[in-house]
Chains A and B, each alone.
Chain A
Amino acid sequence: MYSHGSESLIKQAREIQEPELQKFYSRLCKLLQVKELSHEAVDSLGRLHLILAANKYTRMLPSELEQRLVSLLSSPAEQFQVLSSAVLRETLPLSGQELNYSPENACLLNSHYASLLLSQAGTRADLSSLCAQLIRSLESRPCEGLTHTLPVLNTILSHSPECLTEDHMTLLSKKLVDWLRYASIIQGGGAASSGGFFTVSRSRQPVPTAELDGTVSGDFFTVLCVGQGFTEDQWMNVYSFSMLRHWLLTYHSVSSGNAATDTDDRSEVDGSVVSIVSATSSSSRLLPPKERLREKAFQYCQRLIEQCDRKAHKKMDTELQRACLVEAVCVLDCVCVEDPSLVYRAFPCIKALFGRLNSELSFARILLPIAQFYLNHGELAAVDCDSVWKLVFGRFPAELFNDPFLAHELLRFLRLNLESVQLRAPQYTRFFPNLLKFLAWDSPAVVDDFVDLLPSLVTAGTAVELLHTLLDLPCLSATLVLQLRSTCLPISEPGGRGLLSLDAFRNPSYRGLFLFLLRAEAGSGDTIERLGRLHKLLAEAADWPRVVRCAQTVPVLLHIYFNSVVAVADEKLLAHLILVMLERSSLLLNIPTYSKEIHRVFSCHLLRLCKLHPSLVVDQSHELLEIAGTTANVYSKEEIYTHVVWVLGEYLSASSDSRCSVRLITSCFEALEAVLFEITSSAPPPGAVCPAPKVITSLMSALAKLASRSHDLIPRVSLFLSKLRTVTRGGSVVWCSDEEDLAAIVTRGEELWSLLKAPGVAQSALTPPPHVTTARWHRDTNVAMPLQLRLLTSLTHSR
């Protein structure tokens, strides 16, 4: 598809030299001077376009060439309109004069000319004048080929809605009503004279349009009506409906102040009368243009929904019916937001649609806008929405996690309506196991959405289970892969490579494990007992791309999780979370670097939590000591070990928590001392590397801190530190491979040793009272050291 030839073409286009280029320009100019433009001219224009487009930097065209191109914009041959428009779009904007453009040339503005004007619009005023011109052209009898007018107007609206004046809006509303509701229901001019299939019948019998299933249309024309040919207003019907939602969203939003001015203009229609009238569809002629459009839009959508019940003959039309259902529901939602009295008319229709579609998963994408409707208006209509949420949160993620479009739309629905959902369907937080299936299946595509959504899923009730679920997300990922494979592949693959994990998945004795991972709702338990077993069964999944990508997103999500949980958790819950962290640090799926990354996140947040609530350390001292007292942990989870030791040293004191006894300090001391002795007297076990200096210095510092709180421990530390100095004087040691590292360790040892020689100083240095750690230097006059220093300095300098 993309060949070497294409690559070299682009290179040539970029690297063409100036002289060659000028020759090309003049040749092209000559070719364009001829009345009947040749094939060569067309080809050259194509090449010119490539030369201009291939470059990021703009090239200047000679003015003569530019002029020729401008004149081609109004050429009767579309080929030249297209080419000149494409070329000129790649150059710098031309002024109105250069473009020979004046607002009077309404009918001469073909689609390609218009797109050039749009892309080169320099100011809002340019857009406004283009807008005004197009609307004027709609007012007069439409010339042929003005169907592009509505799209051009629509694109101006996207960028600059204020380009339309009140009058314009009124005019366009009236036109839209005409096209949407009153388009011809007779088949277009083509029908009587299309020739082809039709026998030469001279009868000019008007043939009515047909529905998609072949029956004759019984009501007004819509996009779901077919005919052999179409009239101009039927085309405008299609273009009008295509832009209807955007129009309503732009000009009919409740916050726009236009509603008041409209009723002022139509003084014969009282404000209260308007809402009564819209409740009955008959006398809509009395309504002002805006309200009339709303009413007609309503009728159009209702008709579409009916038409979608018919079975279309062609696949393309079936797909169109689905798109129309989505659009119709969205438009109904729009108009009901604007005029809530319409809800009573709309709801029966929407409810019936829900009833028809909710059993088929293939209609899932249509059910999302229906859910949006229920969310916005369900309360007003006093309708029970439970079945809707059960479907959206309970069924869709579980069975359609691998549909990228559904995932995108469902998560976007949640994101955009988060406040509303939290209010009206707060139970959605319980469905996080289901929602996380989207992430487990295709992390790169949806991780961005979860960065936004995860904080709202963190609640005090589900925090622990959520943490376990996040840690086992790669397992969920693997399970989803197995689930799909299991349904696709036959029970026994003849000669195929049997997956051990697939066998395990199908094995009844492991059913419970996998069913737990695949659960839809939280609340049936934080995690499973046989987690280690599960990890072993899924060991071969560790290099599956989906699982690897999923594992890469977990650290980020954990950071978000911990940042959110501190806001909702009390100390008891935080203590529980610390336990989970410690427990799970050795219970993770064995993917390369996964454990390390998770340990890093855990360490960071262990520190944060203990800093916020220092009494947690005393509270969980038993479990923390278990970790800190096991030498094997130094080698298997160095990062966590270091941080556990550090928090023990820092916060195991009576000033953090009055429950901290001397006995506790002593037992902690002894546990750490034992480990320090062990790792500094022997080589690391086979297969492990020497512990990083940070581990050893943390242990030493922790011991010193603990000793400073219980002074009879000081001699023991000092003895160890002096022994350490002696041993290391001998040269290298088996437990430290680097000379510089060893020097750093020894230096730290010496510092601590000298500090401990004065117990009182050691205590205030290593266990500072709170007012020192939460410094208020600038606020506290007594301790404002910098102020004092500055004062002294200025005194000494003034001499």
Chain B
Amino acid sequence: MVRCFLIHTVCPVGALSAGETRVLYSRVFGPDEALLSERHRERSPEERRLLQKEKILVVARKVLSAISLSREASGRLLIEHAPGEEALVSQDADSGVVRLRSGHPFSEEMSALWLGVQSLGFSLVCEPHENLLLAEGTLRNLTRHCLEELHMLGQGSEVLLKSSRIDVLLSRLLPHGQLLFLNHRFAQSLEKEVAAYMAK
């Protein structure tokens, strides 16, 4: 299962110090793991929500660090892509995976797969024993859709105001964090549904 999906900045942001990132979209699947752990069960719902937000931020920061180091090491120049090149961008993007030790921040060990698309990072946190080949393909597909549906290669802020579109996308391609084995026909069928929603 996928534990969460995030979109966050990987470029320097004015108000933040280096190493800090702005989370633009986050979606945690399933019940709060703090609920079921001995240590955190006593906390109030507010505290649990705060804890969850902090965990997301920890993941985002680790991914930011991984992307920055990877880009520095590869020396690849960042090319600005124009709207219309979403498929190319998601195929070409820097990619990698970060190991999240148990406790840092989730109670179990997880793998955070990431794609670095210009100034944004797209991450998928997978539970152990997850099929990472499938997860990688799903992440690229999701990224391409997000770039297209929310016009992210432009200057707009739709990712913030129209995040429900990502919710719908996730509900079809990654329902409740379940990775799906979709051949092109099944995928087409789901994408038609998504497109129909977006058209409204």
Contacts and interface: CB of A to CB of B under 8 A. Distances in A.
Q: Do A and B bind each other?
A: yes
Contact of A5 (B26, B66, B153, B155): B155
A637 to B, nearest CB: 30
Interface string A435-455: 000000010110011000000
A79 interface: yes
A46 B179 contact: no
Contacts of B164: 45-46, 49, 79, 82-83, 86
Contacts of A405: 95-97, 132-133, 136
Interface stretch (A151-159, A344-352, A525-533, A760-768): A151-159
Interface string B31-49: 1110110000000011001
A249 B129 contact: yes
A154 B131 contact: no
A535 interface: no
Contacts of A79: 164, 197, 200
A545 B75 CA distance: 9
Nearest to B165: A82
A223 B183 contact: yes
Contacts of A444: 65-66, 69
Nearest to B117: A1
Contact of A121 (B31, B65, B200): B31
Nearest to A110: B171
Contacts of A152: 176
A111 to B, nearest CB: 5
B24 interface: yes
Contacts of A156: 30-31
Interface stretch (A226-234, A290-298, A459-467): A226-234
B98 to A, nearest CB: 7
B180 A239 contact: yes
Interface residues of A, number: 94
B93 interface: no
Interface in A761-784: none
Contact of B99 (A224, A225, A408): A408
Contacts of A230: 185-186, 189
Interface string A32-73: 000000000001011101100100111000000000000000
From B14, B46, B132, B189, residue with most partner A Cβ within 10 Å: B132
Contacts, number: 236
Interface in B8-55: 9, 11, 13-15, 22, 24, 26, 28-33, 35-36, 45-46, 49-50, 53-54
B164 to A, nearest CB: 5
Interface string A206-247: 000000100000000001111111100001001101110110
B65 A317 contact: no
Contact of A314 (B1, B132, B184): B184
26 contacts: A2-B24, A6-B24, A47-B161, A78-B168, A83-B164, A86-B163, A92-B45, A112-B171, A123-B35, A151-B177, A154-B178, A156-B30, A158-B1, A226-B183, A228-B185, A230-B186, A239-B180, A317-B183, A323-B134, A324-B181, A327-B131, A330-B129, A409-B132, A445-B70, A445-B97, A549-B69
A155 B176 CA distance: 7
A333 B46 CA distance: 43
Given A2-B11, A3-B157, A238 B168 contact: no
A111 B174 CA distance: 12
Interface of A: 1-7, 9-11, 43, 45-47, 49-50, 53, 56-58, 78-79, 82-83, 85-86, 92-93, 111-112, 114-115, 118-119, 121-124, 127, 147-148, 150-152, 154-156, 158-160, 212, 223-230, 235, 238-239, 241-243, 245-246, 249, 314, 316-317, 319-320, 322-324, 326-327, 330, 365-366, 404-405, 408-409, 412, 442, 444-445, 448-449, 545-546, 549
Contacts of A150: 178
A2 B120 contact: yes
Contact of B36 (A111, A159, A228): A159
B131 to A, nearest CB: 5
Given A6-B157, A9-B161, A549-B69, 4 more contacts: A79-B197, A151-B178, A228-B185, A322-B133
A147 B118 CA distance: 36
B195 interface: no
Interface of A is mostly: helix
Interface residues of B, number: 79
A154 B1 contact: yes
The 8 closest A-B pairs by CB, nearest first: A151-B178, A155-B30, A151-B176, A323-B134, A404-B96, A6-B157, A223-B181, A151-B175
Contact of A46 (B73, B129, B162, B178): B162
A546 B71 CA distance: 10
A445 B96 contact: yes
Given A245-B129, A327-B131, A330-B131, A546 B183 contact: no
Contacts of A122: 35, 45
Contacts of B180: 238-239, 242
A409 B49 CA distance: 32
B30 A212 contact: no
Contacts of B96: 404-405, 445
